[in-house]
Each structure stands twice: as structure tokens, then as C-alpha cells.
Structure 1
Amino acid sequence: MCSTPRSCFPCRSCRVKESLSVCWSWFPVRMRMRGRSNSSDAGSGFGTNVLLDQSGRTTGQGWLGGKLRKLLKTPQAPPSVGGGGGGGGGGGGSATDGLQPLEEEKPAVVRLTFEQNLEEHHLLEADRLLIEREQRLFGEITESEGLSRHQEEVEQLAADRGVLDTLVFQTLMQSLSLGPEELNNDGRVSGLTVALRSAVEAVQLEEQQDQLWRQSQRPPPSWRPCVWRKRHDSVLRLLVEARLDNPRATPTTSTSTTPQSSLQADMQSMGRQLKEDLLVVVTVLKSCYPPHMDICNLYARMYHQSFGARLRKIADFGLDDKDCTSLLLWSNKYYPGILQKPELVNEIDAEALGKLLPDNLVEPLEEQFLSNQQSELMTYVGRVLEEEKEKWTKGEEPTREDGCYVSTVACDIILLINGMVTSAQTITGDLHKAQSITGQLKDLMQRYKAFHDSVIKQNRANSRALIKANLGCIQDFRDFLVKKSHLFPNNVRENCLSVLNDMKQSAHTYLINPVHKVLKPQYQKLGTSDWLKKNLSEKLLISIEKELLELQGSAASCQQELMGRLHQEVTEEYVRRLLRGDVKLKDREKQQKAYVTVKDDAEGLHKLFSSMGSQEVWLKEILTKIAEVLKLQDVPAIQMQIFSLGSDYPDLSEKQVSALLKLKTTLSRADRRTVKDTLVDALKEANADANTRPFFCKIIVK
């Protein structure tokens, strides 16, 4: 047990001797230290303490290793004495004359001096030596002895501490000069990395020594507490500031033809430096620090604060639109993207860092950006519509692709809106804010509708072609509003869809009305006595086919809708003329003939319109069921047919059923009442999931 009087420090003889790390040769400068002598190590140049490494081998490389090897060279054994002769004797006699050979001693490792540790940058070992001297001077020496007799040693210790202090913090200032190349191919780390690790360990050791002095009753040395941990953080902060103040130049590899402003270049250079440095921290520096120091998040906080402070200064300049956009991109996209890199995401707590810029600074910038974007959208759409109007005024027809008239109005506007809103969401980091760009889209659609209505009203030679092209634009706009609904506020989307629906209806009416005008003479003969006597149906179909060819020219989906609407309107006119009651089916033969005629007409209309693109198959079913009513003779069978018709088409009215039944003069009033009562029951039980497309409600029966 140590006999040294009890104090707050362990005595030198009780300290555990620790292994000396292999010397490093990375630092080219050899420190010039003031020489000092020690009576206990005179003539050797080394300290009194001898330390073995873990393997028991002498440490030391380079010039120092050479000196150690010379100093510790084991002398040769003296020549053997006595029988057995010289070394050349035969019989393999022993050189020790039968004595057991001495066991070879392992050379002891000499502990390096403070100066040698500094020269080799063994900073932790150098710090341990200073602490041992500090404990001897301020801990082991009794108060009665005083320090006056050791003033020179105290001054020398303070000077040595100053040298170590400088080297430790110079090493810390070089931390971010490390890179992945510091890891050698064999997995070992280079001298600079090891030196940094040693410096970090020295910082921790000094913190422990500060804590011991705080707990001690003795007066501390003038350098205590040295607060190296606090200074460590301050040095790293200065290092971060310096690297962002003088970032590495950004390579000019961009293919963009738009020149960068000086502010944009500054932000990009700082952002690149930040990303590269954080990657060095997590890939290299993390291994030099103990986990409790959380070095990755420490650096992240420093870069977060420093980068944010610089962006705030940039924002104070009063930014133009491009610089404003660039600043928002760094705040909301690029910087968060750096923290989400696979190498960093598990090492840095990005959520704890918070926002890079405060809301009171970001909000005015976002308002400036969004206002500018909305203004650009309005200007661009206005220009597109003006160009389209100018072409129409000059009498130009839209171009044709695959036989269809096409317009680029919708495509141009859709691409712009999609790009603007998507980009604004990225720049602002908020979809709701980005949607505000389309706040005036309804007004733009109203302007488009006004132009559309003007084309219809003036009915110029090129108006029909333009309206056919517009049908494609209307369809594109509708698909865009439905499929990309997240880009628009709900009220804007609904208002725009309503405007587009009005435009589609007016376009259909404009294109279809001339067809009905041509077919009117054929319509007038439907439901008359001539209808059953002559082959009017064939003439009607020929006239319809001729007019349908004139309606060609819209995009496929638009053509399908247009043909479907005309198909329904022709069928409605057919039923309307039939229910007028001009023809009376007085016997079974006429009723059978009416059945065949209506059934054949239903088939003929279906084939013709289907060939032109109509998908309204259900219209054939309506005429077929009406034909069945005309043929059937038994009231129960007629009841079943009316029940089926009323169930599928709830807009069928009693007046319409009554008009249909009156064509069959063989039915009594009581029979007609019975059948109409069946319709009431059918409407009560109408299937809510049945096809409820309107048809009969558009047919007025007097």
C-alpha cells in the first residue's frame, strides 16, 4: 500500500502504467523544446518512469526508435571459461560448461519524455506527464514546504502546458481536413486521425482533472480550471465559421445557360461545403470521439446555426425574384435533402435541429415568390389565348393530326400549371401554399369560355374546325382537374369543371343542331301512317350517316361523346314522334308490323352510331322494350314489360305510358289504368343502382 499521505490525487507510484502507442510520422514539424535536466535521469535523456507496451516490446520508430534500440541494446555474454574448448570444438559441447543458459530478458520499454511525446504528437501521453508533474507539485508537496522552492518547476510546467495547449487546439482546427482517404487500405488509420483521437482524449483527461480540483480543498494552479471541453466546442465553432466563410469553390459543371447571381453562387458554395464536411464528420471524425460527446449532432447544430445565420444576412439584402427562389430552395429543399442522405440520416437528428430560417423571415419571401408565380401564370395564359384568337381572326384553321383538329392551348397551359404548382410545393414545402397560384384559374377559364362563345356566335368558316379542336382542349382540362385535383383548392377545381362542362355542352349544341335541322323532314314522318307503309327508316339512316361524316374531326374520346349525345337525341326524337299518337294500331297485324319496324330501327340506329364511336348501347334497349309493348296482347305481359321499363328508367311518366298504350286501340281504358298502376309500383321499387341516365324526362307529351 502506498505510504504517501492521503490527498485528492493518486500518487505516482500507484498509477497504472499504460502502453505507449506507436509513434506517428504524419506531422513534419519537430517541436523545439527547452531542455531540462533531472537528477534521476541524468545521462540517459529519458524520464525516470519506464513503461512497457501491451506486448512487452519496446516502442519507438524512426529516429527515436534508433536511439531507443542503441540505449537498450543487450550486451553480449562473456566468453565461456573451462573445459570444452573453443567455439570450434567437436561433439557439440555446451558453451556454458553444463550450466543452464540464462533466460533471455525482454527489453524494457522506456517511457518517452514530454518533449518526445510532443515531437511524435502523442498528445494524450504528453498530457499525462504534465498532470503527473502537476499532482507532484500541487498535490504531494505539503503546505509547509510551500511552492516557493519549486517556483521554477511551476513556471516550467505552465510553459509546457502552453505548448501542449497550442498543439492540441491546432490539431482540433485541422479536424475537417481529414477525409475518407485517411483510412489506409489495411484498415488502419493514418497519423493525423490518430493525433486527433489523442487530442480528444487529452481534452477529456483535462476535464477530469478540472473536476478533481473542484472537489479538492487545496488552492488550484493558476491554469485550473482549463475548461478544455468548452474551448473544444468554441474551436469547432470557429472552424465551422471559417469553412463557411471561405467555402471550397463550386465546380462549374452545370449545363444551365442561366448565369448565377453572386448570392446564388455563395449559397451553393456554402451548401456544398456543409454537405462535404458533415460527410467527413460521420465517416471519419465519429471514430475519433467517444459516443457521449455525440460529435455528429454537435457539428450538425453548429453548421445549422451558422448556415442559417448566413442565409438570414442574405435575406436582408432585399432579394430579387431569382435570389428569393434560390433562398427558399435552400431552406426548404436542398438543406433538408442533405440531412436525409443515407450516410447522415441515422447519425443526425434533423428534427431536433428545427427550421433553418424563422417563419417571420420565410413568410414574406414565400408571398413574394407565390405572387410572382401567379402573375406569371396569368400573363402566360392571357398570351396563349390571344395567340389563338389572332389565328382564328385571320381565318386560320387548327392543324390536323391523324385526321383530327388539335389545339395546343390546353397542353401549354396544363404544363405550365403543373410545373408551377409542383415547383412551388417544393420551394415552399407546403402544398396548400402552392395551390394559391391557381386561385385565379376560374377567371382564366372564363376568359377561355368567352373566346369559345365568340367563335360559336360569329360562326365563321373556320369556327367549326376550331370548336372541334376546343373539344379536345376541354377534355384535357377536365382530365387534368380530376386526376391532379391535389394541385387546386376545391372551390377552384369545382368552378373550373363547371365552366368546362358549359363549354362542352355549347360546343355539342353548335355542332349537332345543324344535323337535326337537316333531319327534320325525316323526323316529321315518324309515327305517321306513312311510317308503316313506306321504308322511311332506311332513308332516315342514310341521311344520318351523311351528317355524321360532317361531324368527324374531333379527338377520339371527344368524338365518342359527341356521337353518343347525337345518338341519344335522335332516339329521343324518334320516341317523341311515336308518342304523339298520329298512327293508330287498330289490330294485331298493325301492332306486329309496328313491333318489327321499331325493333329494326333500334338495330339500325345502334349499328350506325356504334360504327361512328357511340357507346350508348342502352338506347337500343329502350326502343326494343317499347316495341315489345306494341306487340304484346295480354295485359299481364304488358304489365311486366312496363314494370321493367319503369324500374330501369325511373323518369318514365304516366302520361308517356298512357300515350304509348293509346297507340294500341285494342286496349280498354280499364286495361290502360291497370298497366299504369303497374308503373306506380315499379317506380316505388326502382333499383337505386339501376341505370338512371335521363331519357324520358326530355320527352314532353301533351
Structure 2
Amino acid sequence: MSEASSEYLAPPLESEGPPERGEQEALRKKPKGLTNMFSIFTKGRKKKGQPSAAKTEGKPEPEPQRGDLLSTAEELKAALELGRLEAAAPLLALERELAASAAAGSASEEELVRRQSKVEALYVLLRDQVLSLLRRPLEVAPERLRQALAVLAEQEREDRRAEAAGPGPSALATTRPRRWLQLWRRGVAQEAQERLDQPPPADAEGRTEAERAFLHMGRTLNGDLEAVVERLKPLFPAEFGVVAAYAESYHQHFAAQLTAMAQFELLERDTYLLLVWVQNLYPNDIINSPKLAGQLQGVELGSLLPPRQIRLLEATFLSNEVTSAKELMARALSLESQHWAQDVAPQRLDGHCHSELAIDIIQIISQSQAKAESITANLGVQIKPLLWVELAAFLRSYQRAFDEFLERCRQLGNYRATVMANINSCWSLRTFIKQNQQTPQDLLGYLSKLKSHGFDTLLQSLVERLQPLFKNFSHTRWAASEKTMENIVRTVESALPEFSGLRDCFREELMELVHRHLVKEYIVQLSKRRLVLKTAEQQRHLSGQILANADLIQRFCTEHGSLATWLHQALPTLAEILRLQDPNAIKMEVATYATLYPDFSKGHLSAILAIKGNLSSSDVKSIRSILDVSAGAHGPHKSLFSLINAA
């Protein structure tokens, strides 16, 4: 807290309890007011140029008696008006001497009332001097402040002594307890209110009125309490509880202000900020800050808002935040779809086609999640499933919009680049979902469909170019199958640069699809029932050709990034089935094959066995029966034969 603000850390002079300031104010307006009260200090003394009553009557003026307070009271009044607090001790002595005189009955009632009036008038001066110093304690020299605090402490002790002693002589008015400590604490509360109610400074950062109020009150409270701890606590007596007094006063008014704000309809950002202050910043960054935590132990401040009000605000925040996230994601997709339709070329990032859509969506979800967690961890738990519901809805919309683009915008110049940019977006979204969702399958399913449709689109022209080349297998009756496969591989190789805009991981996935397509189409050609070989030698020759072609496919695809090791046995095992002549050996090979490719059916097996023209129908039936035992997939598997028509 700055020196400028330190002047506020002190109580006002208004008070309750004897003597009341309000009463003194009123007395000023009456003949017997405070001004006239001090005239009793001069009663009985002659005015300049006026003879004394004793001289008028011809009698000598008596010497002051031991108990006469006139000259002593005047000296104390003069000292107190000069701010000399050391007058407090003789004043207390006067008060006690007065009580003793009353108890002894050594003075008349009129004399006691006169003397008590003088004492009480002096106490008004002393009280105002002490409390005025405590009003701006940081501006007061430490020794001076200690002196004021010592007077206040002495008065508290005298209050307790008087209360323990019971009522005094009936001739004297009851003036104890004076409760100056309560007046000081009441002043602290008033000063806290004035400090926190000050208008916040002008703001050039576009904050709302509520945001500026929160920031001002928070900074003021934090700075003032730290100043109390660092500069006032070492000077104040421990029994005064100076830190607790300020903390409780600031807390109560801060809570009152926030409660009043919460009654009105707040902006979304103000609802969030109110919750952040109540649930996080105030309890964690202020009350439990390194400078204050140890000083506030045992001080029961509680929450700034009641639990019911907090729950209502949290429900409002969740609703606002989820709605906002939904609208922001829809807006991001709409803007991206416009770019697609307008044939805007996607950005390039590290040589890959890039879209900001995935980044935008991740930021929207992450920021909403972080906002909730910045209030409380529990609120972060509550908002997460709500956000994932909205993310799932977005992914459905994204998939539909992308499918519509694939269907309608084929003629655009940046069509393929846009497709690759959207496939690349799946990587960021997939990584984000896996890292943050325990059961991501449903969400990943939308991305898998989007990616799959994109791959199909990218590969469509290549598939069309390969189709006539694969037909050469049957047209040439496999006589030049190796040359045909080399032509197929060269065609694929020439097309690979078209996919350079994909991220490395997606090029690998695309290459696996190419790998699968080459294996699948090769099996399709084998299964067309146009080739029947009746001798074992012919079958062994075909088996060798298949192995050579399988090796060419595998080497080429692996060299270009395919990780589809699951395809490596697809063609060699079929070649082995064609080479074998013993039905039992063929059965064993088919059984093994069925475990590798659970979608290998009797129809597919029949098409392969049709090539072996030397098998009897009973042998074919017996071999087919092995699939009755091995039929059915056990667990998830990748499709190969399910893509091949077994008819």
C-alpha cells in the first residue's frame, strides 16, 4: 500500500459510549455545551482588571487546597490541546482521586459534579487526540503511534478494572467503561468501507464497470492488509488484534458489495469474474497468500457469498460457457466452410496443407475448461462432460459439411489441397481427444469417417487408373503377371507426389490403403474363376508367380511408408494353398489363414480352390468344412476379404 493510501488506515472520531461525540456536538449548540464546559476551568478566577471576590469583601484569597483541581486541570487542558499525550497519566490520576474523594465523602455533591465535568472534558480532548493519531497510523512517527497505543491500552485496562470493581459512588455519573478500543474498531470498519467504495480509476483496457470494481477492491484489500501486517502489527499491542480487525472489516464490506452485485443480472464475463474472486482469487491469492496466510490463522472470515448464491452463479456460468463454446465452434465451422466454397487455398505449414479449424476448436474447448477450473477444480469436473457433448455435436456437423464439400466442389482448383488440410486437422483433434477423454471412441469415430472419406476422394483417380492394369492379369492368363505388377507399381509411384500435402502419419495411413488395395485387387483377379490349372506343376508355377508379385508389392509399399505388416501373409499363404496337393495340408493352411484374416469366407475359399482343377468335389467340401470350425472373428480386425465380393 502506498504512502498516499496509508492515510485511510485509521478510524474516524465518531463514537458511541460515554462521552458520545454526537452528544458533544449537541452540547456545542446549547449554553451548557462543550465550549461552555471548558469555561469551568476559568470559573472562580478573576478577569483581567477585575478585583477578586475576596479582595472585594476585604478577605485574603485562600491558598489552593491539596484536592483542588483548578490549576492542574488547566495545565492538562493546555497540554492536551498541544497534543502531549503524556498528560494521560496525570489525567487518570485525577479521575482516580475524584473517585476516592467521592467514596470518602470529603466533597459536596456539587463539587464532585464540577470536578467530574472537568475530568470528562479532558477525556474528550484525550480521546480525540488518540483516535486522530490512529486514524492515519502509517503517517504517524512510530514512537508517537506507540504513545497513542499505550494510552489506549491503559484506558482498556482501566475499563476492565472499573467493571471488576462495580458501580462507583452514586454522586458521580458512570463513565466507565469508555470502550475506546471498540471506537477504534468501528472506525476501522468505516475506513474499510470508504476505501473499498472509492470509485475505481479510469481504465483504458475495455473492462466492464464490474470488472473495474472487482479489480479495485481486490487490489485495495490486498495492499492494505499487507501494509497492516508489515507496518502496523509490530507496533500494535497483540491484544488489539490489529490484523484481524482490518481483515474482518475489509472482508465484511467486500462481501456486502459482492452480495449486492450478485442480485443484478450480470454480463457473462462479470459472472465469471465474480466467481473467480469468490472461489479462487480471494481465498487463495489473498487470504492464503505468503504474506497473509500465517497472519490470518484463526481469523474466521468465511466465504464472500453464501453457498446458495454461489451455486446459482455456478449454474449460470456453466450454462453461459457451454452455450458460448457451442456458438463459437459453429461460427468457426461456418467460416471454414465459406473458405472451402470460395476455393481459398489452404495454408502450408512445414510443407503440409494446414487448416486453423482444429486449432480453433481445441482452443475453444480448452479455454472453457480452463475458465471453469480457474474457479474451482470441482466446476472443471462439472463442465467437462457438457463440453464433450458439444464437441461431439460439432464433429457431426463437421463431418456433414465436409461430405457436402466432397460431393459438390470437385471442380475447384484447391479441392485436393483442401481435402488434405482437413485430413491433417484430424491429427490435432484426435490427439486432443485421446489426451483428455477416457472413452474417446465415439468422438474418434466421427474423425475416422471424415478421414476415410477424404482418403477415398484422394485415391479415387489412382484407383481408376489402376483398374484396367489389374484386368490384364486375367486377359493374359497370368502369362506376364510380373510385368503387369511392375506397371501397376510404377503407376502408383508416379501418383505419390500428389499426396505430399499430407502429414507424415497420414501419408503412412494412405500408403497402407494403397497397399491393401493392391493386395485386394490381386486377390479379386485370382478369384474370378477364369483360371483352372489341372496339374500340380501348373499350380506350383502360379504359386511362384504370386509369391514374386507379393514380394514386389510388399517391398514397394514398405519402402514408401506402409506399416501394414498384417497384409504380408495375404498373398503368400494363398500361394501356398495353391502349391500344396495334400488335402489335409491344405486344411491346415486354410485354418491358419482364417485366424489371420477372420473375414476369409467359404465363398472366398471356393474361388481359390476353383483354380486347383485336380481336386475332387469331396476334397473341396472337406477343405471348406475347416472354416466351420474357424469361422467368425474373435475381437476387432482389419478388413480385407469383406471388401471382396465372394459371389
The TM tier, using the shorter chain, reads: 0.7 to 0.9
Q: Which residue of 2 aligns with 1:599?
A: 547
Q: What is the match of residue 205 of structure 1?
A: 157
2:411 counterpart (413, 435, 460): 460
Gaps in structure 2 of 5+ consecutive residues: 1-39, 43-62
1:693 aligns with 2:638: yes
Whether contact under 8 Å (1:171, 1:195) holds in the other structure is no
Q: How many residues align?
A: 578
Partner of 1:285: 232
Out of 190, 193, 212, the residue aligned to residue 238 of structure 1 is 190
C-alpha deviation, 1:236, in angstroms: 1.9
Partner of 2:433: 481
1:300 aligned to 2:247? yes
Distance 1:506 1:229, change over 3 A: same
Please tell me whether residue 612 in structure 1 is matched to residue 564 in structure 2: no
Following superposition, the deviation at residue 306 of structure 1 comes to: 0.5
Give distance in 1, aligned partners of 2:299 and 2:476. Answer: 85
Q: CA deviation at 1:467?
A: 1.6
Q: 1:353 aligns with which of 301, 309, 331?
A: 301
Q: Give the deviation of 1:275 after TM superposition.
A: 0.8
2:404 and 2:350 map into 1 onto residues whose CA distance is 27
Question: 1:191 offset after TM fit, Å?
Answer: 1.9
Residue of structure 2 equivalent to 1:423: 371
Quote the residue 2:398 is aligned against: 448
* Cα 1:173/1:585, change in 2 over 3 Å: farther
CA–CA separation in structure 2 for the residues paired with 1:193 and 1:626: 101
Task: Give yes or no for contact 1:537–1:601 (8 Å, CA) kept in 2.
Answer: yes
1:542 aligned to 2:474? no
1:621 counterpart letter in structure 2: Q
Distance in 2 (CA, whole Å) between partners of 1:132 and 1:299 is 33
Q: How far apart are residue 274 of structure 1 and its match?
A: 0.6
CA–CA separation in structure 2 for the residues paired with 1:243 and 1:483: 47
Is 1:191 equivalent to 2:139 in the alignment? no
Which has a greater percent of helix? 2
CA distance in 1, matches of 2:565, 2:626: 26
Report the counterpart of residue 259 of structure 1 in structure 2.
206
Matching residue's letter, 1:306: H
| Deviation at residue 588 of structure 1 after TM alignment | 4.3
Equivalent residues of 2:347, 2:355 under 8 A apart: yes
State the one-letter code of the partner of 1:274. L
> Does the Cα contact within 8 Å between 1:210 and 1:227 map onto a contact in 2?
no
CA, structure 1 residues 310+667, in 2 after alignment: closer, same or farther (shift >3 Å)? same
Counterpart residue type for residue 502 of structure 1: K
Out of 504, 513, 516, the position equivalent to 2:463 is: 516
CA change 1:433–1:593 in 2 (3 A) is same
Q: In 1, Cα distance between the equivalents of 2:611 and 2:300? A: 83
C-alpha RMSD of the superposition: 4.6
Do 1:333 and 1:427's aligned partners in 2 also have CA atoms closer than 8 Å?
Answer: yes
Q: Measure how far apart 1:687 and its partner are.
A: 8.2
Q: Give the match's secondary structure for 1:561.
A: helix
Q: 1:209 to 1:606 in 2, by over 3 A?
A: farther
Look up the equivalent residue of 2:399 and give its one-letter code.
K
CA distance, structure 2, for counterparts of residue 387 and residue 159 of structure 1: 80
**What amino acid is the match of 1:194?**
R
Does the alignment pair 1:158 with 2:120? yes
SS across alignment from 1:405: strand
Residues 21-100 of structure 1 correspond to what in structure 2 (within 5 A)? none
Kept after mapping to 2: 8 A contact 1:651/1:697? yes
Is 1:309 the counterpart of 2:260? The answer is: no
Q: What percent identity do the matched residue pairs reach? A: 24
SS in structure 2 at match of 1:300: helix
Aligned to 1:101: none
Distance 1:145 1:562, change over 3 A: same
Deviation readout 1:637-677 (Å, 9 max, x if unpaired): 55554444444444444554555455445666676677666
- The answer for unaligned runs of 5 or more in structure 1 is 1-32, 48-112, 183-189
Asked if 2 retains the 8 angstrom alpha-carbon contact of 1:652 and 1:697, the reply is yes
Distance of 1:594 and 1:471 partners within structure 2? 40
Per-residue CA deviation, residues 75-118 of structure 1 (Å, 9 max, x unaligned), is xxxxxxxxxxxxxxxxxxxxxxxxxxxxxxxxxxxxxx999899
- The Cα shift of 1:276 comes to 0.6
Q: Please say if residues 329 and 394 of structure 2, whose CA atoms lie closer than 8 Å, have aligned partners that are also in contact.
A: yes
Distance 1:629 1:680 in 2: 18
C-alpha deviations, 1:581-614, integer Å up to 9, x for none?
Answer: 4434544433433333333333322232234332
SS at match of 1:287: coil
Q: Separation in 1 of the partners of 2:531 and 2:446? A: 43
Measure the CA separation in 2 of the matches of 1:395 and 1:262: 44
CA offset at residue 567 of structure 1? 2.2
Give the alignment's TM-score, normalised by structure 1.
Answer: 0.68
Find the aligned partners of 1:210 and 1:651 in 2 and give their Cα distance.
Answer: 101
Structure 1 equivalent of residue 134 of structure 2? 172
State the secondary structure of the residue aligned to 1:353.
coil
Q: Deviations over 1:349-375 (max 9, x none)?
A: 599533323466566766776666566
Higher relative contact order (CA 8 A, sep 6+): 2
1:503 aligns with 2:442: no
Q: Aligned pair in 2 of structure 1 residues 473, 34: CA closer, same or farther (>3 Å)?
A: farther
8 Å contact 1:331–1:357 — kept in the other structure? yes
User: What residue is the counterpart of 1:57 in the other structure?
Assistant: none
Q: Tell me how far 1:281 sits from its aligned partner.
A: 2.5
Contact 2:193–2:253 (Cα < 8 Å) also in 1: yes
Instruction: Give the superposition deviation at 1:455.
Output: 1.9
Question: In the superposition, relative to structure 1, how do residues 131 and 545 fare at CA in structure 2: closer, same or farther (>3 Å)?
Answer: same
Q: Say if 2:80 and 2:125, in contact at 8 Å, map to a contact too.
A: no
* CA-CA distance at 1:280 after TM superposition: 1.6
Compute the displacement of 1:626 (Å).
3.3
Alpha-carbon spacing, 1:245–1:505, altered in 2? closer, same or farther (3 Å)? same
Q: Quick one: structure 1 residues 41 and 446, their matched pair in 2 at CA, closer, same or farther if it must change by over 3 Å?
A: same
Give the drift of 1:279: 0.7
Q: Deviations over 1:294-336 (max 9, x none)?
A: 5434432321221122234445665555655554554445434
Distance 1:119 1:451, change over 3 A: same
Offset from partner CA, 1:149-181 (integer Å, 9 cap, x none): 655543443334333333333343334658xxx
Residues 505-584 of structure 1 correspond to what in structure 2 (within 5 A)? 505-526=452-473, 530-531=477-478, 533-535=480-482, 536-584=484-532
CA distance 1:292–1:621, shift in 2 (3 Å): farther
In structure 2, how many angstroms separate the alpha carbons of the residues matched to 1:554 and 1:505? 14
Give the distance between the partners of 1:318 and 1:693, measured in 2 at CA.
Answer: 56
CA contact (8 A) 1:529 1:583 kept: no
Q: What is the 5 A alignment of 1:249-398?
A: 258-289=205-236, 294-314=241-261, 319-320=266-267, 326-336=273-283, 337-348=285-296, 352-358=300-306, 377=325, 380-398=328-346
Distance in 1, Cα, partners of 2:516 & 2:151 = 88
**What do the CA deviations read for 1:487-513 (whole angstroms, capped 9, x no partner)?**
xxx8xx876544333322222222233
Distance 1:466 1:554 in 2: 11
Q: Which amino acid aligns with 1:408?
A: E
